[in-house]
Amino acid sequence: MPYNLPATRVLMNSLRQVMAEDGETRSRLDQVVHLIASTMVADVCSIYHREADGTLLLIATEGLKPEAVNKTRMGSSEGLVGYVARTAEPIAIEDAPRHPAFSYRPETGEDPFHAFLGVPILRTGGVIGVLVVQNRTERVYRDEEVETLQTIAMVLAEIVHRISEDQSSAQPDRRARGQNGGNLRGRIFCEGLGYGRAVLHDPVVPAARFFAADQKQEALRLEQGLKDLRASIDRMMLIDGAALGEDPRDVMEAYRLLAHDTSWAEKLQEGVRSGLSAEASVDRARREHRAKLQAARDPYLRERLHDLEDLDNRLLRVLGGEESKPQITGESSVLVARRLGPAELLEYAKLGLKGILMEEAAASSHAAIVARALSIPAIGGIEGLTTLIEQDDYVIVDAEQGQAHIRPDDAVYDAYKSRVALRSERQAVYASLRGLPAQTKDGKTVSLMLNAGLDLDLDMMDQAGADGVGLFRTEFQFLVSETLPRLEDQIALYRRVLDRAAGRPVIFRTLDLGGDKVLPILNQLREENPALGWRSIRFALDHKGLFRRQLRALVRAAGEGALTVMFPMVTTPEEFREARALLEEEVAWTLKRTGQKPSKLEIGVMLETPALAFALPDLAGEVDFLSVGTNDLLQFFFAADRMTPSVSDRYALISPSALRFLRMVAETCQTAGIRLSVCGEATATPLAAFCFAAFGYTSLSMSASSIGPVKQALRSIDLAGFRRGLDQALNEPNDAFRNQVLRIALEHGADIPDA
């Protein structure tokens, strides 16, 4: 099959003429398949459209029997066409009938054809069809031929999409409220409630802009677009960077470096030289980044690919001018995206947002960090989101329960309004309790602390009425930077945290890296089960230089004030002793060189593995306090990942086995003289807080939004009476154990909203 760059340009020019013509969609597709077959010297060219039920319908062909059009249909898991649609990857086969996925359809007359090349037709991240060429002879398609067909598929996406629009044109306007589109579930990134019309983030390249009329002019336009993009990011760093705090600002700096990457720019210029417009060249790069992202497992690589895709989107908006800018009007808006980069989110936020929905599932992603800093209700991890919501759909973002309601009916909308009003009333009640202690009816006081990891989290201390910081996650400073933070940078961060706490206690958790939190500059080996692998204190003790530098920074930051440090995921007494010895060496080193040491040094351990629970007696007199890390502990206790829907119902703190275990830990610590605290999502509900407090846990650490509800609930209960009832329930649990515990709490005066 003769193939060269001039032939590709001829094909692109011919396609441009067809795309510019008026006419019925299917007749234009007939012209397209004829053009592709003749230019690429293929015996067959066919287009399959993905129908609403997921099947693939033959809608145009050159070379197969015409009567098969609109009749031949492949299942989503059937044949080579189904394989391409299912994997969203191209496939090139020398002899198709011998391939195990081949499905013979006699009505098409495809008997004499052997060589097969199929590519997905993609739009907004989803497969909407498949483009195929076939030849009679057995042959190997070259990489440049595959790339050409992928480019053509990109051009065809808008025409094929119109078929779906034509099919649904007779349907009523689904965007209106009242045409309920159902509920989607995801992971809460930032708590809250929001409502508005959907604004789709991913820009779509208009068909009319796929080809370069003047390649030299198009190259200049792309170059200018890149300059404008870089200038806008530089301005954003100057104007918005200081307001965000240290960690989000580091995220933005890494993002800025990617925008100045010369290899990315050269790849885009190559596309223009092949005959594509600047927009189409960027769109092609975006599709490549998405394809690589699907295959990438390394979290750091995925984050870089995410940021590159975000840069592609921003550049498309720059090239498109005013008409490509985010269409957010004065009406309330909810941003819907496959994934968001930090810079894009900042720009949208300036225009006003009521909520964010994303397919991206990582709560540690750059966008999630910035969303929390901006306090915008956000939910992530919604699979297939961008194919389920249309522009201007009405959407409720319920980031209290992790749900999105699409085109809610009036009953759902009225319930949402009531919840917003009730939320406002409750916030007023919680605000009135700000200066009061979390003291139960029978006089037991519990410290309610804040979980934090960013400068901006500390802004919530006074607003929430927190007694201090029960968990400061120190790893964020490492995760968002391209390089290891210097000793001076670490000292500055820890000093700011202590200053802003204004004398209130702060518990610094040392580096919790590894697992799903991969340090960018260390090439960590891929693990089969990273949650159980080389992470947390194991990682730190194997990188003593890195660990000691952090411990030195903590000691230096404390000066002559108090310092409280805890080590994560300790499983044996030996690990704790080794880590404690390193910290004490750094205290001695600092005293020798600066003449200063912390006036009070408290060293604790996180209980995140059942193994440590049975080693606690061996640490009596060595550990000052213990903090239960409920997220990992319950995951290991139940052998169930709380983020896996199929087993999430097996992950329950309010269960007889889990509470008996936590009671045993409390009794062991009380005997050994170890102070008890808890940090983790499980502390954030009043019922869980009652149980921990009843067992003798004196400090509970949680998100800022949970402190008010938990404080109100604790102030309403007779804790001693609840403890007696809870012990009895643990001896004689019934099948509805949570309701059994709830009833006991209510019997002893508990005021629990939505109980």
Catalytic machinery residues = 366, 679
Rounded Cα gap, residues 382 and 385, in angstroms: 6
Distance, in Å, from the CA atom of 350 to the CA atom of 335, rounded to the nearest integer, reads 13
Cα–Cα distances (Å) from 42 to 17, 122, 302, in that order, read: 21, 22, 37
Identity at 523, one-letter amino acid code: N
The helix/strand/coil state of 120 is strand
At 43 the three-state DSSP class reads coil
Report the 10 Å Cβ neighbour count for 404: 27
| DSSP annotation string for 27-92 | HHHHHHHHHHHHHTT-SEEEEEEE-TTS-EEEEEEESS-GGGTTT-EE-TTSHHHHHHHHHTS-EE
- Taking CA atoms, 560 is separated from 270, 486, 487, 566, in Å, by 60, 22, 18, 19
E strand or H helix that includes residue 498: helix 487-501
Q: Closest Cα to residue 612, out of 660, 574, 653, 656?
A: 574
3-state DSSP of 550-574 = HHHHHHHHHCCCEEEEEECCCCCHH
Is residue 339 within 8 Å of 359, Cβ to Cβ? Answer: yes
Q: Pick from 213, 217, 147, 155: which is nearest to 15 by CA?
A: 155
How far is C-alpha 745 from the chain's CA centre? 36
Residue the block writes with tokens 């067909």: 149
Residues 6+ apart with CB under 8 A from 644: none
SS3 492: helix
What the block records as the tokens of 395 is 């959407």
Q: Is residue 10 helix, strand or coil?
A: helix
For residue 396, which of 439, 332, 443 has the smallest C-alpha distance?
A: 332
How many residues would you count in the chain?
755
* SS3 (DSSP) at 542: helix
CA 354 to chain CA mean position, Å: 18
End-to-end CA distance of the chain: 71
**Sequence-ordered alpha helix ranges (H) in 194-326:** 215-244, 246-259, 262-273, 278-295, 299-320
Task: Please name the residues in contact with 505: beta carbons below 8 A apart, sequence gap of 6 or more.
Answer: 449, 467, 468, 469, 562, 564
Backbone Cα Rg of the chain: 30
Q: Which helix (H) or strand (E) element contains residue 92?
A: strand 91-93
Cα–Cα distance list, 40 to 61, 139, 436 (Å): 14, 14, 77
Q: Which residues make Cβ contacts (< 8 Å) with residue 639, sequence separation at least 6?
A: none
CA dihedral 460, 466, 467, 473 (to 10 degrees): -60
CA distance 581 to 603: 11
How far apart (Å, rounded) are the C-alpha atoms in residues 331 and 678?
A: 42
For the stretch 358-376, what's the b/e string if a residue is b when 16 or more beta carbons lie within 10 angstroms of its beta carbon? Answer: bbbbbbbbbbbbbbbbbbb
